[in-house]
Amino acid sequence: MEPLFDVRGKRVLITGGSRGIGLMIATGFVEAGASVLIASRKASVCLEVAEGLSKLGDCVGVGVDLSAAAGVQLLSDKTEELWDGRLDVLVNNAGAVWAEPLETFSEAGWDKVVDINLKSLFFLTQKTLPLLQAAATRADPARIINIASVDGIRPPQVETYSYSASKAAVIALTRHLAKRLVDGFINVNAIAPGLFPSKMTESLMGDEAVLEAIPQRRAGTAEDMAGTAIFLASRASRYVTGQVVAVDGGITGLG
């Protein structure tokens, strides 16, 4: 069975890869033998994290602001240059959140979140599509893995309107892209995480009421997230596209 989950040598681009869920995924791919490029807005942090991961395997980092078109183009160009025009796996993970009461929710809070969570995801996919097409084959499709959220599946308790709307849109876009790209041997799937440790969720991690609301009574781990991403990038998922995998301890399936 081991070769089914083998990702050694695959070229993997991960946005938002310097912390949280992105770092969990990046670490998993590096340890599994993939060549990984992580991108993050804070260049110094991204390069430091990449240097640490490079002690485990093949990883480089690039600091880039994906909320602007120039940043998307720069990352696409860097990826093309690094891997001679080929990309096996694109993980669209970079994200932002904003919480504000409905009555005062600001345009800035809407635009910031939607621009990074949805707009940059679409245009980075567009710009790297030729690289994915160059690597894709019927026997081993290229992969796009979009990081959505359980908040895009069911309404959250907190007033993060632009976040939940953007993540629901990511799920719809995942299915649309999957249908459009399936003939070109590119599989497109989404992961919808529940509670995982990150900067966004640090205030929730010690809240017993939050954990009690999860059927498995715990937050997700790095192993939970990396394992799902590696499955979606490996031969084991060759026949899987247009799907949303909720990695949430049972919140959406059993709630």
Instruction: Kindly report the backbone phi and psi dihedral angles of residue 245, in degrees, each rounded to the nearest multiple of 5, phi listed first.
Output: -100, 110
Q: Which residue has the tokens 């026949």?
A: 239
| Separation of alpha carbons 17 and 13, rounded Å | 9
The DSSP call for residue 235 is G
| Separation of alpha carbons 125 and 64, rounded Å | 16
Asked if 5 and 234 count as a contact pair (C-beta separation under 8 A), the reply is yes
Q: Which residue has the tokens 């998922």?
A: 237
Establish whether 163 is a catalytic residue: yes
| Separation of alpha carbons 92 and 12, rounded Å | 11
Q: Which residue has the tokens 């183009």?
A: 73
Identify which of 74, 17, 25 has the alpha carbon closest to the alpha carbon of residue 42. Answer: 17
- With a CB cutoff of 8 Å and minimum separation 6, the contacts of 175 are 188, 242
Catalytic residue among 83, 98, 161, 163: 163
Give 75-91 as a DSSP string: HHHHHHHHTTT--SEEE
Asked if 68 and 61 count as a contact pair (C-beta separation under 8 A), the reply is no
Asked if 44 and 63 count as a contact pair (C-beta separation under 8 A), the reply is yes
Which residues carry out catalysis? 163
